[in-house]
Chains A and B, each alone.
Chain A
């Protein structure tokens, strides 16, 4: 390409020379030639190639930081952090695979030797399966609408998908489903119709459980027959299933309260555990019977928001402790072996984000420069 451009600028100079029949004009035209020559050569080189810039390394342990990306930008990516070496690798997918992920990432889950990236980018939604150790893409599931979460049972992927928005502009999702595909990706094999907005999906004791936000319903699916075997209405808006000590919990919110219910896997009944903590967006459980939550406190005119990371005992018998306060916090994660808290700061979604690592009391240990809108963590 560069060679053809050089030929072109050379030809251009010749044309100019040929057109000047009178030598006395040459001095003047030489300025033109000089300047066009300069511009033609100085401003030609510009690579636009995408090549893998990172040899497939070993990422089979550490922390996956999910940078979900900005709306309609397709700039979601994964950051890998190795706490042992303190090495941070941003844009991990692109660096390993040499292509842009083009994602708005909802979730990343690791099952077996693969990590699954759930992308709800408008019109290009997909679940990408990558090798956990190398992060090389192994396959993808397309034909999705607004996938939110993924689970694995046997050799099948179960993808919770809100389905398309209605065509009346009301932003409801009347056609929600759970997509079934092979764990290595490929075509959607089956779509199981569920009630509106399946937000969280989990495999527990050999069954698939789905929590639907809009319909406030819990659904149990037999992963072999792909049939819904039980369903129950629920009293709050589900956010996420949590597995703790071989029990199934569901974190939900309703009326400025947290619902953190143990779910009976057969009857789908809920324990009815409620905490009076408003405006929470993330909840994680630690090893000492405590929950950590991320809360938001808005100014009256909504011109700014203060975020807090709080801890409270699950027994409800102790006090609520403020661990960390800042603005523009987006997510929290807990590295349980080291008892270190990972706090995601999206920096107002104007640029890339920051992850603050603290001890269990909120004392800062380290900050990591990560990608666009960090929001979730996966420790493995």
Chain B
């Protein structure tokens, strides 16, 4: 009965529930990393099927998340800036990591997800909810982790991917890897080009005639090199370098034919050394993140971050693990209007304890200092209790309470004119509770369901306000957020036909609690471009080597001002496609066809930013 009631919650999804593994076997684990959810008991960590990265080859991680999750990205056009909002927070309230390095821009305080090509990413995980104690600054709404995906003992592997699509889309990628028991190397090179000259209805001209987007071409290329070396049975060295450059014309607003261009260059390097003492591990990490942004060929903004960190993890026994670490960050910014640098230090500890088979807790603590000022102490505690744990089905209840913070960006403090050096960190306080349900259908399938309710207060939220003819940031806004996330994932086999489906639904309420002045009508109103509702589902059917899928995304209305007096219309997109796995002598691979927005919906994610109608993409993948 309970199962039937839970089934009526609406649907399935979820991230994989990792089972923390304390057994270290360097023959199988290429680059050892603590499972992300090991110290996040009671919170949700979403992972995504690796197939999606192939299906979204030539497109950005922003596109993948927008069309395959309940997360909303503010997209300023096809291939244009895409900023992620988690749980109604701002773009700067999501921490983004690449192989453990924080990669949010120190000047802008956020990541543009349109600049993260799927070809360069081995895997991702999205930690929903405040996680400042685990990850440090920016993780007020959540955190996104990008990983390399390396494995030993795979021999030689060569992959070639070639795609073609509408509006001049051409994407190419070549990946070569070799690994034996001691050594692994993987090199990826990719090129993604799109003219983006799609048609749209121009809502700014009488009769709303059809027009074609101009000045929206994107040219992207990059290379990723991963290396790992098992020095001896107890130590491992790994490194990764990622260079990505994107030349974009900036798609103008409807009614405009502006010709802005932007070039983004990113160079990221990380070096990890791990030393294992029985079940315990020492991890030393160094990193460098260099960002260069060139706007209209003459405004150059350059930042660099240098990292040194160390962490020791004790796995006392199978029910108790703990880690203690510290990280030093040096940041330097050479921007078009200012030059600035800063130092950050942070210390943290995390502990997970499972006193009973059905009960587990996590406790995380973090203290950060930036420019010799203490950030408020940041703790979090969470737990999970298994109400039912049987072979066929499991039901768990979970809860978490956490604090989080965001250090003001370099631009917030030093931009000339207007930068405000007196800004204090934004801070968040959050709690959440949820249920997890898993069911097996006698080996024919499985169902996973997650439902989470959260509340969050964000204080000292920084906004830029006009002060005469200049704008200056202040810690003026407080916001109360609450919402519901429902994820369901299921699969079932009918003979040779395998069905797999997931549904995401997110309800995010983010209400402003501050009035700029007595006439301000925004008190108690939903923050701009934060949809109350987003729903997405995907159904796949597979038989032998053929797979077909269909996908629907509904994005609810958004307000474009703080007083909620004007609305950007809700929209529904339908995507579909098929993949065929083929083999020809020694060659094997996959050919895929995607039809995006096949009902040709005219829509805008952001006001007056045209988005493409029906469009196609073919990807051919060859493995040697």
> A residues bordering B, Cβ < 8 Å?
1, 4-5, 8, 12, 15-16, 19-22, 25, 28-29, 31-32, 35-36, 38-40, 43-44, 46-48, 50, 72-75, 90-91, 97-103, 121-124, 137, 167-169, 279, 281, 296, 298, 301-305, 326-328, 345-354, 356, 367, 369, 372
Contacts and interface: CB of A to CB of B under 8 A. Distances in A.
A114 to B, nearest CB: 16
Contacts of B420: 301-303
B521 A36 contact: no
24 contacts: A28-B441, A32-B490, A39-B537, A43-B572, A46-B569, A46-B571, A48-B601, A73-B607, A74-B204, A74-B253, A90-B565, A102-B256, A123-B257, A124-B253, A124-B257, A302-B418, A302-B472, A304-B467, A326-B518, A328-B465, A346-B466, A348-B463, A351-B565, A352-B561
A137 B521 contact: no
Interface residues of B, number: 78
Nearest to B204: A102
B572 A167 contact: no
Nearest to A29: B492
Nearest to A303: B474
B416 to A, nearest CB: 11
Interface string B175-217: 0000000000000000000000000000111111000000000
Given A21-B495, A169-B299, A354-B519, A305 B468 contact: yes
Contacts of A48: 569, 571, 601-604
A281 B469 CA distance: 9
Contacts of B316: none
Contacts of B467: 296, 298, 302-305
A36 B254 contact: no
B256 A123 contact: yes
Nearest to B537: A39
Contacts of B521: 347, 351-352, 354, 369
| 4 tightest Cβ-Cβ pairs between the two chains A and B | A123-B258, A102-B255, A43-B554, A124-B256
Interface stretch (B29-37, B141-149, B234-242, B497-505): B497-505
B11 A35 contact: yes
Given A35-B503, A123-B257, A102 B541 contact: no
Tell me what chain B mostly uses at the interface: helix, strand, loop, or mixed: loop
Contacts of B602: 48
Given A5-B599, A36-B539, 14 more contacts: A5-B574, A21-B495, A35-B11, A48-B604, A73-B608, A74-B204, A99-B205, A99-B208, A122-B258, A169-B298, A345-B519, A350-B561, A351-B561, A354-B521
Nearest to B606: A73
Nearest to B569: A48
A301 B467 CA distance: 10
Interface of A is mostly: loop
Contacts of A46: 554, 569-572
B253 A348 contact: no
B259 interface: yes
A36 B572 contact: no
B517 interface: yes
Contact of B517 (A31, A72, A102, A345): A345
B472 A1 contact: no
B529 to A, nearest CB: 12
B342 interface: no
Contacts of A73: 253, 560, 607-608
Given A123-B257, A302-B420, A349-B465, A99 B203 contact: yes
B57 to A, nearest CB: 26
Nearest to B525: A351
A58 B215 CA distance: 40
Interface string B606-624: 0110000000000000000
A350 B517 contact: no
B187 to A, nearest CB: 37
B550 interface: yes
Contacts of A369: 521, 565
B256 A74 contact: yes
B255 A303 contact: no
Contacts of B463: 348, 350
B608 A351 contact: no
B329 interface: no
B604 to A, nearest CB: 8
Contacts of B298: 167-169
B562 A351 contact: yes
B494 A39 contact: no
Interface in B296-312: 296, 298-299
A146 to B, nearest CB: 12
Given A72-B253, A123-B258, A19 B499 contact: yes
A122 B259 CA distance: 9
B563 A351 contact: yes
Contacts of A75: 560-561, 566, 607
Nearest to A74: B253
Contacts of B255: 74, 100, 102-103, 121, 124
B252 to A, nearest CB: 5
Nearest to A170: B298
A74 B256 CA distance: 9
B552 interface: yes
